[in-house]
Amino acid sequence: MTRRSQGLLRGALLAATPLCSTLHAQRPLEEWIDAAGLGAHLRFLSSDLLEGRGVGTRGDELAQSYLEAQFRAAGLQPGAADGSYRQIVPLVGHTSRSLTPLAIRGANESALELRWLEDFVAGVDAPVTAGTWKDAEIVFVGYGIEAPEQGWDDWKGVDVRGKVLLMLNDDPDWDPQLFAGKARLYYGRWTYKYEIAAAKGAAGALIVHTTPSAGYGWNVVQSSFARERFDLEGDASPRTAIRGWVSEEAASRIAELGGAKLAELVAAARTKEFRPRPLGVTAALELTAEVRPIRSSNVCAILPGSDPELANEWVVLSTHFDHLGRNPALEGDQIHNGAVDNASGCAGLITVARALQATGLRAKRTLCFLAVTAEESGLLGSQHFASSPPIPRERIAACLNIDSLARFGAAKDVAVIGKGKTELDADVEAIAASFGRTVVGDLEPDKGRFYRSDQFSFARVGIPAIYLGPGLNLIGEPEGEGARKVQRWTMQHYHQPSDEWSESWDLSGAVADLRLFARLVLRVGDRAQAPQWVAGDEFERLRPRRAK
């Protein structure tokens, strides 16, 4: 065993030391949440030993085992339906490779070839061994949005079956009366684009990447599509043959081959009168894919509630443990350690569980500590849990999610991703006030974060859910410096091998956020009535009702 591995093991063992002293138990909850314990879990989970916690890998199994061991040490009981700590998530993995360049052909035998990874990325849109476009016509469909409640329809009844759709990322954001203005809705997410393309019978979809509309650089798209991707086994939702992204420069070249300019197409798409526009060019592409069945698991543990009646309801505390694993195609460092995203969230969940165990504090409702798999592959682990929970869905009172903890120090504010959507706002504000902090909504509303992490899986089945995120108004820093630090980190490290543990991190902000989170958990767990969606919210009608 290397000296580094020995150090990691010692830290993990110290973090797991039983906390049973009566004297120690007199310490308040907050004192049990500190940087030393949090950092020990974080360093281990993001170490090279776990090889990036890729789904279906040895690192996946090690992460599950570590989480289960820590939940056991915290005195939590098994939470899965079969009486274990693990809910099996049946998956199918597929790794796509391009057999040919993406060939674009126009009139008069004009043509161009786009390069795999450099100009475009693509993958089969189902667990099949091949995907093909055979000179399929390319149609520009603007944002590809069909939203009757907004009076917006990019399709106008045009038949796009068998076509390849060139689509803009984001949603209309220039009018506060449309699509919540700058706050991105699900219509602006790339997942929606692929879903509606499949529903319309298209052969495929290519989303135009820009850093402002995506919130990250082309390198993130490259790393995502160059690795194995996953589907839930038996998912029968509509699919295209191939789905992917093109760089903005490549999209411009496609448009020009058909005699158009991308800027003019984008301008036309910014009106309600827009109609799909055939570009007069075709696409040919052949992909092959390696397909394999996989069994990963969500790690699920519960702290039973103290009230005889309310203990039948659960408050789910969620985070994800997977990351991107190892990429053997990279030179140098091949491991995507995922320290921030999301070893930090897992370390936080463990820390909160152990703090509650140390103090003996219990909520009236049962608390479910849930670490899910395959978040990076489309929220698949949380989707599986939310669709097949261990208890009836109507007895899940709420989901409180954490993902990517603070590492730049303490903040005066705390962010609620999903602020304004549920009655949980009042709970967060009351707890934040007790810590002398203010509550803000999504600090980057144009990124659509509510639809990007695991709380969305719960919202989609009607369970009130929020994501508690770090604030950006850093104590002792100039105004705006927090946002600038996060932006720099995102551009340099998000979904890259460089997302590694650093001794330079200031975990005081993460500790402060987790102390707030722990108190919030207890408050929501003690609510007389389960929280509800705000009247008129997009998910209100989906809320499951308990039988009388």
**DSSP labels, 198-262:** HHTT-SEEEEEE-HHHHSS-HHHHHHHHTS-EEEETT------SEEEEEEHHHHHHHHHHTT--H
Nearest to 315 by CA among 425, 382, 400, 384: 400
pLDDT of residue 447: 87
Which residues touch 523 (CB under 8 Å, ≥6 apart)? 427, 430, 431
Kindly report the backbone phi and psi dihedral angles of residue 166, in degrees, each rounded to the nearest multiple of 5, phi listed first: -95, 120
CA distance 91 to 294: 5
pLDDT of residue 544: 86
Q: Which two tokens stand for residue 200?
A: 């319309």
pLDDT of residue 7: 52
pLDDT of residue 22: 43
CA distance 428 to 194: 35
Give residue 379's region: left, alpha or beta (phi > 0; psi -120 to 50). left
Q: Which two tokens stand for residue 269?
A: 């798409």
Pairing of strands 465-470, 396-401: parallel
State pLDDT tens for residues 43-91: 999 999 999 999 999 999 999 999 999 999 999 999 999 999 999 999 9
H or E segment and range at residue 397: strand 396-401
SS3 of 82, please? coil
Give, as one character, the DSSP assignment of residue 31: G
Per-residue pLDDT tens digits of the chain, which is 548 residues long? 454 544 554 455 445 444 443 444 578 999 999 999 999 999 999 999 999 999 999 999 999 999 999 999 999 999 999 999 999 999 999 999 998 899 999 988 899 999 999 999 999 998 899 999 999 999 999 999 999 999 999 999 999 999 999 999 999 999 998 998 988 899 999 999 999 999 999 999 999 999 999 988 999 998 888 788 999 999 989 999 999 999 999 999 999 999 999 999 999 999 999 999 999 999 999 999 999 999 999 999 999 999 999 999 999 999 999 999 999 888 999 999 999 999 999 999 999 999 999 999 999 999 999 999 999 999 999 999 999 999 999 999 999 999 999 999 999 999 999 999 999 999 999 999 999 999 999 988 888 899 999 999 999 999 999 999 999 999 999 999 999 999 999 999 999 999 999 999 999 999 999 999 999 999 999 999 999 999 999 999 999 876 54
Other Cβ atoms closer than 10 A to 58: 13
pLDDT of residue 12: 52
pLDDT of residue 444: 84
Sign of the dihedral defined by the CA atoms of residues 468, 41, 503, 506, in that order: positive
CB burial string 79-89: b at 16+ within 10 A, e below: bbeeeebbbeb
pLDDT of residue 21: 38
Domains of the chain with bracketed CATH: 21-84+304-542 (3.40.630.10), 94-291 (3.50.30.30)
Three-class SS string for 508-543? HHHHHHHHHHHHHHHHHHHCCCCCCECCCCCCHHHC
CA distance 287 to 270: 33
Which residues touch 413 (CB under 8 Å, ≥6 apart)? 437, 438, 439, 440, 471, 472, 473
pLDDT of residue 547: 52
pLDDT of residue 390: 98
CA distance 240 to 128: 11
Distance of CA 291 to the CA centre of its chain: 23
Q: Which residue has the tokens 């274990």?
A: 84
CA neighbours closer than 13 Å in the CB half-sphere of residue 413:
16
Radius of gyration of the chain (CA): 24
Q: 293: which strand partners? A: 92
CA distance 471 to 443: 8
Kindly report the backbone phi and psi dihedral angles of residue 296, in degrees, each rounded to the nearest multiple of 5, phi listed first: -110, -175
State pLDDT tens for residues 199-245: 999 999 999 999 999 988 999 998 888 788 999 999 989 999 999 99
For residues 164 and 197, the answer to whether their CB atoms sit within 8 Å is no
Distance of CA 432 to the CA centre of its chain: 25
SS3 of 432, please? helix
Q: Which two tokens stand for residue 516?
A: 């707030």
pLDDT of residue 109: 85
Distance of CA 431 to the CA centre of its chain: 25
State pLDDT tens for residues 444-500: 888 889 999 999 999 999 999 999 999 999 999 999 999 999 999 999 999 999 999
Distance of CA 207 to the CA centre of its chain: 19
By residue count, the chain amounts to: 548
